Amino acid sequence: MDLTRRKLLKMGMLSVCGTMIPLGALEIFKPEALASSLVHPYSQKKRWAFVVDTTKCVGCGMCVKTCKLENEIPFDAEVQRTWIERYVLTKKGDVLIDSPHGDRYGFTKNDPEGHDLKDEDTLKGFFVPKLCNHCEKPSCVQVCPVGATYKTDDGVVLVDRKWCIGCGYCITNCPYFARFFHPVFNTAEKCTFCYHRISKGLKSACVDACAFGVRKIGMLNDPDSEVFKIITTQRTAVLKPEFGNEPHVFYLGLDHIVR
């Protein structure tokens, strides 16, 4: 065998270089992988998502009222599936945040946190509607010890009232404080995106009730849905992204004082 030193080094270097090419780099030789980025720029997976345009919200609370009645949450109980928070920045530099009764009776006075604020003392203010974020990685679901809460195939997080033992782990584990105990069933309760309505082609009750076009629901990957159009063309933000839950309620006009 005529294996010279030169040949050995040459072949050695070649095989070292060959092993260094990552497998992922070979993807470009697959025609279907190439085509997929051209034909389907977005995934075809069905996934519900929500958009909240905070710049339009007037804080009338019709969504909260409608939600409570639609979803059989006792009206006078101090728990709600959706609520509106008011953020007011005063000229002194104080940030006042309140949501009296979850805003089911509407904001009718300039009295954040009970302070009787004069109009000229407010620097800026706005309303932020909140609801369950139906996370892609819901931390509330992970901690359920009995499998009573789950994520459906289309991304909605639900609670099995018959299976829930009422331990409250999920309530303390939601970074958005979107869960509570149902005062009648004594089980964990949360927003369902009105799963009974959206599955029938209707809109969620709060979306229907909003006269100002603040709330929008739709399929995340459906190019005809308003949600898709907003997320793909405008600057949206999510609440508390640092928790890594991948929330699916997208906000327009979110300020840094919102928590």
Partner 1 sequence: MNHAWRPLILIVGLAAVLLTVRMFLVPSDFMAKNGDYKYQWHRVGNEKFWRDEFTVKHKGREFCKQCHEDKIELVADSGHARVQCENCHVMFNPEKKGHPVDLKADFGYLLDIGIDRSRELCKRCHSKLPYRPKEFTSLTKGIKPFNMIDPQEHNPGEECVDCHDVHRTGFK
Taking the least distance from each CB to partner 1, the nearer of 61 and 225 is: 61
Identity of the residue, 94 or 160, whose beta carbon is nearer to partner 1 in the bound complex: 160
Alpha-carbon distance values, 214 to 15, 96, 130, 208, 220 (Å): 60, 22, 12, 10, 17
Q: Which two structure tokens, joined as six digits, stand for 33? A: 């992988």
Q: Which of residues 114-153 bind partner 1 (CB under 8 A)?
A: 119, 122, 124-127, 137-138, 141-142, 147-153
CA-based nearest residue to 98, from 108, 111, 112, 109: 112
Tell me the window of 7-15, 30-38, 40-48, 207-215 that interacts with partner 1 (CB under 8 A).
207-215
195 contacts partner 1 (rule: CB under 8 A): yes
Residue from 9, 11, 33, 69 in contact with partner 1 (CB under 8 A):
69
Q: How many helices and strands, by DSSP H and E, does the chain display? A: 8, 11
What strands lie across the sheet with 83-90, from one edge to the other?
95-98, 83-90, 122-130
DSSP assignment of 59-99: ---HHHHHHHHHTT--TTSS--SSEEEEEEEETTS-EEEE-
Nearest approach in angstroms of CB 34 to partner 1 is 28
What residues numbered 43-62 form the site for partner 1, per CB under 8 A? 55-62
Stretch that binds partner 1, among 11-19, 189-197, 223-231, 241-249 (CB under 8 A): 189-197
In 3D space, the residue among 94, 166, 161, 86 whose CA is nearest the CA of residue 130 turns out to be 86
Site residues, partner 1 (CB under 8 A): 55-62, 65-66, 68-70, 75, 88, 104-110, 119, 122, 124-127, 137-138, 141-142, 147-153, 158, 160-163, 192, 195-197, 199-200, 202, 205, 208-209, 211-213
